[in-house]
Structure formats: C-alpha cells, structure tokens
Amino acid sequence: MNLEDRLRGAADAIIEATRHESPQDELKKLYVESDQRAQDPLELLAFDHAMKETQLGPAAYALGVHYVVQDKLDEADYWLRVAAQSDVGDAALRLAQLCELRAVLNFNKSEGPDSALEQLSHSQNLEARYWYTRAAAAGYENGKPELLSVAEQPNEPIDCCDHMEVGSSLLRAGRLVDNAQEEALTIVRRARRDAESFVEDAQEEADQAQVMAREARRDAQAFVDEARAEVESLANQREILALQLAQLRSMLEGLATVVARNETGRSGFGRLSGRLRRGRSRAASRRSVMSADVEFCARIIAGVQDALEMPDDEIPSRDLLARAIASVSPTGRQHDIRHESIRLAESTVGSQRRMSAAWGSVAVAGR
C-alpha cells in the first residue's frame, strides 16, 4: 500500500465519521476546542481583545453621539474616533462632520494667520477630509438621508437620557422637514412644467389666432376691393345711362314732332305715315293705330341708330316706345315725353343711391 492509498483511506474514514455526527456532537467538539485554546494564555488574550472590540465599537458610537447632543465636542471626538476605527455604522461620517465643525469654530476664534487656532483649524480640515473619504468608502455620503441615528445601531437604546430624547426628536423633525422640502420641490417642478406647457399651448393658439386674423383681413380687403370695383363699374354705368337717357330724350322729342306732323299732314314723314296706314280700315281701333305708330317710330329709331352707330342693346324697346307715344297728347306731347324720360332717370338714380348705401356698409365691414 502506497502513500496515496493511505491518504484516500484516511479521508474516507473522516467523511464516514462526520456523516453520522449530530449537531450536538459537533457543538461538543467546539466546546472541547475552545477549552483547549483557553488553556493557552496568548490565545485567551486575543480572544478577550476581540470580544472587547466587538462590544466597544457600538458602545463608543452611542457615547460619542450622546456627547455631540450634549455639546461636549472633545469627549464626542474621542469616542467617535474609537467607533470609526472599529467601522461602526456611520461613525466615520459623524466624526468628519465634527472635525469640520471644530475647524470652523477654531478659525473663528483665531487672531491671525500665524495663530495656533488657525493652524489647528487647517489640521482639522485635513482630518475631516480623511474621515469623509472613509465614510464614502463605507457607503455614506455627506448630506445624504442615509445618515444613521443611534436608534439604527444594534443593541443601543435611544432615549436613555433627556438630551438623547431631544436629539432624537430633532433628528426625526429634521427628516420630516427634509421630506417636506423634497415633496415641495417636486410639486414646484411639476407646476413649473405644467405652466410652461400651458404657456406654450397659449402661444400656439395665439399664433393660430394671428394667422386667422391675417387671413380674415386679406379676405375682407379682397371683398372691399371687389365691392369698390363693382361700385366704380356701377358709376360708369350710371354715366353711360345718363348719356343714353339724354339721347333718348332727344329722340323722343323728335318722334313727338314727327307724330304731330303726321296727324296734321304737314310733313314728309306724315305723308309717309299716311301711306303706310292708307290701306287700313277707318273703323280700326285706336290700338291698331298705336301699333302702326310704334312701328313707324321703330323705323325712325333704326335710322337714328345707323346715324349714331349705337349698338342694338342701347336702342329703346317697343314697349318703351309704346308708353312714350301713348303718353303724348295733341296739346303737350313734348312735355309728357320729357316727364316720362325724367321718371325713368329718377328710377335709375334711386337704384344708384341704394347701391351707394350698400357700398358704405361694405366699407364699414372692411374696416
């Protein structure tokens, strides 16, 4: 049997022996091993030191916090330093804050740059930076809500004295204030975002309103320009109509003279009219005579049209000629014809005035 076989057999025996051991047997072996170590003075001293360190850290932390609350900074500095060296809670952060506070106090008490207090202040600032670095490495940062209180340290009472009770109350109140400030800032930021969104929407609506106003102004201006052009066209038509009425008045006066001579038989036009009506029966009605007169006047106006080179749509209709001739009496033909022409002109002028009033309304709406 070689060495490898012996080692394998010993390992199998150990595994087989431990497989059947109960927790009670393992605890008994642990006690036996502890008794054996207690018989060695060096191991016993190391064990006692470890136990003291385990109990000293939290106790030093609680004591240091007590001294801070009681405003005993020297004692608080000593015990917080012990707790920070044992890495208890946020002792390093509290010690850094305490060093920073003492540096500020010493600087305010110093009398000059060469005084001992100011030099002490500089050294305390350096020490505060060191402990801030230790606190950051342990997961604590200055000013963060992760700062632990005595109540958050294990196995340490919080309200063991009046000072600690007041201090814990102030700590809780400070945390409530911090939470309220954070909520207030959140509400303010949300309100600011809502206000900015509302202002942007209002600005967009204002821009749209300006665009609509410009479009409405352009439409109104186009409508006004169109109405102005229409009124100017009507004014031109009025001038043309006045000229045509003057021409019609002159023609009707001439027609009245021709008709009068036709009735008395003292004119070539009268003889022409007689020849036109010679074949008619004398018992024909006045309406037949009036139709003949209208036909006669129409022929005369056709000759006038050729002489004046007037278009067809500017020549009086047969109905107008019939009314003009019917209104002529043997005693006052020219007067009645003028009256009829003036009535037609006044009717045209009334229409023109109504159009001018409509133009005034359009101008007001455009402004």
- As a whole number of angstroms, the distance between CA 35 and CA 31 comes to 6
Dump pLDDT digits (tens) for 12-48: 777 666 656 666 777 787 778 777 777 778 877 777 7
User: Sign of torsion, CA 172 173 178 179?
Assistant: positive
Quick one: pLDDT at residue 273?
Answer: 46
Amino acid letter, residue 353? R
Calculate the alpha carbon distances from 233 to 222, 223, 228, 229, 237 in Å. 16, 15, 8, 6, 6
- As a whole number of angstroms, the distance between CA 177 and CA 359 comes to 73
Residues 165/159, Cβ–Cβ less than 8 Å = yes
Residues 328/229, Cβ–Cβ less than 8 Å = no
Calculate the alpha carbon distances from 300 to 5, 47, 57, 102, 161 in Å. 157, 151, 139, 130, 137
The encoded tokens of residue 212 equal: 């609509």
- As a whole number of angstroms, the distance between CA 303 and CA 84 comes to 133
- As a whole number of angstroms, the distance between CA 48 and CA 240 comes to 132
- As a whole number of angstroms, the distance between CA 85 and CA 71 comes to 22
Residues 6+ apart with CB under 8 A from 344: 245
Residues 6+ apart with CB under 8 A from 265: 271, 274
Residues (pLDDT < 50) of the chain are 143-157, 265-286, 307-308, 328-338, 340-342, 344-345, 348-349, 351-352, 355, 358-359, 362-367
- As a whole number of angstroms, the distance between CA 79 and CA 99 comes to 13
Residues 148/91, Cβ–Cβ less than 8 Å = no
Quick one: pLDDT at residue 212?
Answer: 92
- As a whole number of angstroms, the distance between CA 198 and CA 200 comes to 5
Q: DSSP characters for 40-72?
A: SHHHHHHHHHHHHHHHHHHHHHHHHHHHHHTT-
